[in-house]
């Protein structure tokens, strides 16, 4: 879909050809790097196509499978090369600048009758694994994506039927000593990405409610890392920081008593009803609307829970930002967030900046959609965990570039169309677009035209990944037919001569 041979200004560093994302990978043989780059170029040109459709000829297809099935290829090296490229993009804007590192865990599910070698289970019926991803964004308010700077994958055994599952007794001390527990991933990836960016940028780690634990928060404080984390435990006991005589209270009560220092009207996006009961409870459906929000802040001290080891800090001081909607519409759930942070809260500008940092989390959810829907990662017919991880390491930079280009279409919609598609593809699009393209189309014109081929309607707002992919598939099919016809005509002309 996207032109990959021209350097473009992205607003968060210079965009280089996609194959440069794997250029510094140490795969033990330069030929493996070249193969990865060739596969990456093909995948980037047709993100949603199946492997046989994106590759020309049996020899190239065999080379692709030879790469992903090669045990000597380390998928971590492929991704590390992309992370270093992202770090270099940050450096082009000046060393030592703050960047947002947004963390999230997503589920990779694979269907089919065969059992994939080394792959765990996400349910009794579906194999898969969990990908914990760290995405770097600019901290200037635009949330422009630099790239993925960390990945941690884990999997689970196939769950037993409900009647066979033993009753588990909660033991906080035993859990705290378990060095294999999944919850450690939040701190591990924060530490890993902080080491990667040291000397290049100052990360601000952004996490959702799942990361809210004393262990994670105290680790960030101990390592002098900057963070914004949404609070999950609203009833944890706290006291006002700096006031030794203050009585203990609950976190949400302290936040509710804080005096608002800023107000803002915020447009809330539509949220469809989730088919999953747990997701519906956490994120109920809502219509798009404007919300009048108030923002308050307070500093609190949190003591170490009794079940945690003495090696952790006895207490931590954190700042709390309370986001609330004092007068929601009738029959509508009010907006309310509690954010825990190490960032200053002295002014209204400080508080609003923290809120904007957290709101940038949407970018990693879009990245996950780009991986799954835009690149069709979960449809890849690969039969081993090793192959799937190599494919993921190839897919992530492509999904990042798709995210970057979508970002450009929204923040710089008037950029020339040639910055996002090749001349050949633009000519094909002109021929089959449902509505004639302007004489000098922009990046936004191209996105909307491709999405329209996939069934997108202008009245529905900006297109999603699904319609973009369907439109792209249509465009690529027609483009391939045009190219085949041109080859046939050239061959006929040569034979006539």
Per-residue pLDDT reduced to its tens digit, 262-282:
999 888 777 777 666 666 566
Residue 140 falls within a domain, yes or no? no
Q: Is the pLDDT score of 461 beyond 90?
A: no
344 domain residue, yes or no: no
- Res. 8: pLDDT tops 60: no
Alpha helix locations (H) across 360-463?
362-369, 385-411, 423-432, 443-453
pLDDT at 176 over 70: no
pLDDT of residue 187: 96
Lowest model confidence (mean pLDDT) among 156-170, 232-246, 262-276, 291-305: 156-170
d(Cα 244, Cα 74) in Å, to the nearest integer? Answer: 53
- Of 155, 202, 246, 243, give the one whose Cα is nearest residue 342: 202
Other C-beta atoms closer than 10 Å to the C-beta of 274 total 14
The pLDDT assigned to 7 comes to 37
On whether residue 44 sits in a domain, the answer given is no
pLDDT at 197: 97
Rg (CA), the chain: 25
Count Cα atoms within 13 angstroms, Cβ side, for 167. Answer: 1
CATH of the domain at 450: 1.10.740.10
Based on the structure, what is the number of domains in the chain?
1
Contacts of 329-333 spanning 24+ positions with Cβ under 8 A: 329/289, 332/286, 332/289, 333/284, 333/286
In a domain, 10, yes or no: no
Residue 423: alpha-carbon gap to chain centroid: 30
Query: Is the residue at 160 inside a domain?
Result: no
pLDDT tens-place string over residues 388-415: 999 999 999 999 988 887 887 787 788 8
| Angle between helix 385-411 and helix 362-369 axes, rounded to 10 deg | 120
Mean pLDDT over each residue of the chain, to the nearest integer:
86
Residue 190 is predicted with a pLDDT of 97
Residue 445: inside a domain: yes
Q: Give yes or no for residue 118 having a pLDDT over 80.
A: yes
Cβ contact 48:473 at 8 Å:
yes
- Whether residue 468 lies inside any domain: the answer is yes
Residue 486: pLDDT band (50, 70, 90) is confident
Angle at 213 between CA 363 and CA 96, to 5 degrees: 50
In angstroms, the Cα distances linking 300 to 33, 165, 239, 256, 307 are 51, 41, 5, 13, 21
- Give the structural domain span for 439: 413-496
Mean pLDDT of 76-87: 96
Looking at residue 233, the DSSP 8-state letter turns out to be: -
Single pTM value for the model: 0.87
Please report whether residue 459 resides in a domain: yes
Tokens of 478: 């027609």
């Amino acid at each position: 879909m996207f032109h990959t041979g021209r350097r473009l200004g992205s607003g968060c560093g210079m965009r280089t050809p996609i194959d440069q994302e794997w250029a510094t990978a140490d795969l033990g043989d330069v030929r493996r790097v070249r193969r990865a780059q060739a596969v990456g170029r093909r995948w980037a040109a047709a993100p949603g196509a199946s492997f046989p459709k994106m590759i020309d000829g049996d020899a190239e297809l065999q080379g692709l499978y030879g790469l992903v099935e090669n045990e000597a290829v380390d998928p971590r090296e492929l991704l590390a090369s992309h992370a270093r490229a992202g770090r270099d993009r940050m450096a082009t804007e000046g060393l030592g600048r703050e960047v947002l590192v947004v963390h999230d865990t997503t589920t990779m599910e694979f269907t089919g009758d065969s059992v994939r070698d080394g792959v765990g289970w996400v349910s009794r019926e579906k194999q898969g694994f969990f990908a914990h991803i760290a995405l770097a964004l600019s901290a200037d308010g635009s949330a422009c994506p630099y790239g993925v700077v960390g990945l941690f994958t884990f999997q689970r055994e196939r769950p037993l039927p409900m009647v066979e599952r033993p009753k588990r007794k909660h033991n906080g001390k035993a859990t705290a000593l378990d060095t294999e527990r999944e919850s450690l991933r939040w701190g591990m990836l924060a530490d890993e990405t902080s080491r990667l960016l040291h000397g290049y940028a100052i990360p601000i780690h952004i996490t959702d409610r799942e990361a809210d634990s004393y262990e994670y928060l105290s680790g960030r404080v101990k390592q002098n890392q900057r963070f914004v984390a949404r609070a999950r435990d609203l009833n944890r006991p706290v006291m006002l920081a700096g006031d030794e005589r203050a009585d203990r209270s609950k976190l949400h009560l302290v936040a509710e008593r804080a005096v608002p220092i800023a107000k803002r009207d915020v447009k809330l996006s539509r949220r469809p009803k989730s088919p999953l009961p747990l997701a519906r409870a956490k994120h109920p459906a809502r219509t798009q609307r404007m919300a009048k929000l108030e923002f308050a802040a307070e500093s609190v001290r949190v003591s170490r829970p009794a079940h945690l080891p003495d090696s952790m800090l006895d207490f931590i001081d954190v700042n709390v930002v309370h986001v609330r909607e004092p007068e929601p519409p009738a029959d509508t759930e009010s907006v309310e967030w509690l954010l825990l942070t190490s960032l200053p809260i002295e002014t209204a500008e400080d508080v609003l900046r923290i809120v904007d940092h957290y709101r940038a989390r949407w970018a990693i959810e879009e990245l996950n959609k780009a991986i799954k829907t835009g690149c069709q990662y979960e449809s890849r017919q690969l039969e081993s965990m090793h192959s799937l991880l190599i494919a993921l390491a190839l897919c992530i930079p492509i999904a990042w570039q798709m995210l970057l280009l979508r970002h450009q279409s929204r923040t710089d919609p008037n950029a020339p169309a040639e910055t996002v598609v090749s001349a050949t593809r633009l000519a094909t699009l002109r021929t089959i677009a449902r509505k004639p393209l302007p004489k000098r189309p922009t990046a936004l014109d191209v996105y909307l035209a491709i999405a329209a081929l996939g069934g997108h309607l202008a009245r529905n707002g900006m297109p999603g990944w699904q319609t973009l992919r369907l439109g792209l598939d249509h465009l690529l099919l027609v483009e391939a037919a045009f190219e085949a016809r041109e080859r046939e005509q050239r061959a006929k002309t040569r034979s006539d001569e």
